[in-house]
């Protein structure tokens, strides 16, 4: 199979370039990550991140033929050759397919992605009704792979100001949590022309999410809560 890989070695002083690679691999039942690992076995200078190899850790997000996806759950058989693999767009490249995730994590941290509850701790766990728990479905499954946020043009233009789809989905996950007591502060944190309202609903995030989540819908619910609070 033919591959076209983005290569960048900062210490060489060279500009990044696309490297054509031929790999003898049977695509049946194999994922893109299998191919990348086989290529790395041929040429150990290729750098990439991977860990769980089953779509749970979110570390091997790359741009494949123009779309952000997880290499480990992308079947080789559904890709057209030459398979172009690039690092995630919109984040600084450290080397080859490895990007600096810090701008993404900084926005994630800014929404305080933890439960805020100052009540005394109960004897057992903080209980939720099945209905309250159901509100978290579609919001808690995010693995922070950054496929969505780095597919969002608003994040490309303002990565230091716009929270991005992943961060906003996580913000909503805690707003929707019946055990969380900080909803007004969370809405204050988000009500901003840049932090929230850079989202204009183009839904690249929904298209990119390898877990099938819908950040645009969560952003819509945050906006609805802000409108309710205001009018």
**Which stretches of the chain bind other proteins, using CB under 8 A?**
110, 153-154, 157-158, 188-198, 200, 223, 226-227, 230-231
Return the number of the residue (29 or 193) whose C-beta is nearest other proteins.
Answer: 193
Task: Report, in Å, the least distance between residue 188 CB and other proteins.
Answer: 6
Q: Which residues pair with 67 in a beta bridge?
A: 64
The tally of CA atoms less than 13 A away on the side-chain side of residue 90 is 22
Task: Report, in Å, the least distance between residue 201 CB and other proteins.
Answer: 11
Task: Report, in Å, the least distance between residue 136 CB and other proteins.
Answer: 23
Q: What is the dihedral of CA 100, 105, 110, 113, to 10 degrees?
A: 180
Task: Report, in Å, the least distance between residue 144 CB and other proteins.
Answer: 18
The conformational region for residue 201 under phi > 0 = left, psi -120 to 50 = alpha, else beta, is left
What are the φ and ψ backbone dihedral angles of 91, each rounded to 5 degrees?
Answer: -120, 150
Task: Report, in Å, the least distance between residue 206 CB and other proteins.
Answer: 20
How far is it, in rounded angstroms, from Cα 208 to Cα 144? 13
Return the number of the residue (15 or 230) whose C-beta is nearest other proteins.
Answer: 230
Q: Which residues pair with 63 in a beta bridge?
A: 68, 86
**Two structure tokens written together for 207:** 């298209």
Return the number of the residue (56 or 226) whose C-beta is nearest other proteins.
Answer: 226
How far is it, in rounded angstroms, from Cα 206 to Cα 47? 28
Return the number of the residue (124 or 231) whose C-beta is nearest other proteins.
Answer: 231
Return the number of the residue (16 or 220) whose C-beta is nearest other proteins.
Answer: 220
């Amino acid at each position: 199979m033919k591959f076209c890989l983005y290569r960048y070695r900062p210490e060489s002083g060279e500009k990044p370039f696309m490297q054509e690679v031929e790999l003898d691999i049977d695509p049946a039942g194999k994922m893109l990550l299998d191919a990348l690992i086989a290529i790395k076995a041929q040429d150990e200078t290729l750098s990439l991140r991977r860990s769980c190899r089953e779509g749970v850790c979110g570390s091997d997000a790359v741009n494949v033929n123009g779309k952000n996806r997880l290499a480990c759950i992308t079947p080789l058989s559904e890709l057209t050759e030459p398979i172009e693999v690039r690092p995630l767009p919109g984040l600084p490249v450290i080397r080859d397919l490895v990007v600096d995730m810090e701008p993404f994590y900084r926005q994630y941290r800014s929404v305080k992605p933890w439960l805020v509850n100052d009540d005394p701790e109960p004897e057992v766990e903080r209980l939720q009704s099945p209905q309250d728990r159901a509100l978290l479905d579609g919001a808690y499954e995010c693995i922070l792979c950054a496929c969505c946020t780095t597919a969002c043009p608003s994040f490309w233009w303002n990565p230091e100001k716009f929270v991005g789809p992943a961060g906003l989905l996580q913000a909503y996950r805690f707003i929707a949590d019946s055990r969380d007591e900080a909803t007004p502060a969370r809405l204050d944190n988000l009500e901003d022309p840049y932090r929230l309202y850079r989202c204009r609903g183009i839904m690249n995030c929904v298209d990119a999410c390898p877990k099938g989540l819908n950040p645009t819908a969560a952003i819509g619910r945050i906006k609805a809560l802000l409108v309710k609070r205001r009018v």
